[in-house]
Amino acid sequence: MAEAIRQNDTIINSWEQLCEEVYFDAWKPEFKRYRSDYAFRGLSDMNYELKNSFLRNSGDRPELEYHLLRNFRKYSITKDPELTSTFWRSLVLAQHHGLPTRLLDWTYSPFIAMHFATANTEKFDIDGVIWKVDFVKVNQLVAEPLNILLKEEKCNAFTVEMLEKTESLYEFDQKLGSDQVCFFEPPSLDERIVNQFALFSVMSNPTSILDHWLVKHPDMFRRIIIPKEIKWQVRDKLDQANITERVLFPGLDGLARWLKRHYQPA
């Protein structure tokens, strides 16, 4: 598995090369504009798998997913009842606040992915990674009738409103298809989800690992390896560009996390 993944690796050696690689294949001649079809996910350790938080927390016990979400919806107190009005909105809200779910966080922004690959200074002795997945091609593989929704809306990513046409996770799993994945945009719950330019991937099985699916579709992903030797360089340039916790996690907690790293000796 690891060897199959590494065949799609590009090891960068400079900030300039990193910027070039994240925008590789973004030019669309038909529009004469740069429009990337990739979703990005940055990780501080290149050896981390694309495991969702539910699998990391609950292991191979898919039946626990229902109870986690059921109790989250039962006990959550929100000022806006719309936030938990459907199971999809509850699922996004739960992920947003740290509940183990089958969702994986991604971003449209390669620079935000760079941030998450270099934010943890305790991992600066380990190579980081940015995953690039062609979410447009991935969503085109979704089975009917879900894929019809994309054609009707003339868009590349699902929205929560589109997925709400399925009334339960069980129904969604059946419609998505066995061992399948799709990418969707969450609603703008708050500044954090907006500033992180977020989207999510979701698989038809809560205990599936996205790496295993991607190995079967090698034309749909690439990995950009950030060697440990240049992590500080990337980090400092991101800070200068204001790609920091102060922006991505608005509030005092994000400000404190940014300042803690900013004044940490290299």
Is 227 part of any domain?
yes
Residue 154, SS3?
coil
Whether 209 shows a pLDDT value over 80: the answer reads yes
E strands within the chain?
9-11, 27-28, 33-34, 38-43, 104-107, 128-134, 158-159, 181-185, 198-203, 221-226
pLDDT band for 146, please (50, 70, 90 cuts): confident
What is the Cα–Cα distance from 40 to 157, expressed in whole angstroms? Answer: 14
Is 198 part of any domain?
yes
Total domains in the chain come to: 1
Peptide bond into 62 cis (omega under 30): no
Is 89 part of any domain?
no
Mean per-residue pLDDT of the chain: 93
Whether 2 shows a pLDDT value over 80: the answer reads no
Is 239 part of any domain?
yes
Greatest mean pLDDT among 41-50, 135-144, 183-192 lies in 41-50
pLDDT band for 183, please (50, 70, 90 cuts): very high
Is 97 part of any domain?
no
What is the Cα–Cα distance from 13 to 229, expressed in whole angstroms? Answer: 9
Structural domain including 148 reads 2-64+103-262
Whether 86 shows a pLDDT value over 90: the answer reads no
Whether 87 shows a pLDDT value over 90: the answer reads no
Report the Cα–Cα distance between both ends of the chain, in Å, rounded: 35
Read off the pLDDT of residues 5-41 as tens digits, 9 standing for 90 and up. Answer: 889 999 999 999 999 999 999 999 998 999 999 999 9
**What Cα–Cα distance (Å) separates residue 166 from each residue in 100, 146, 175, 196?**
21, 9, 8, 27
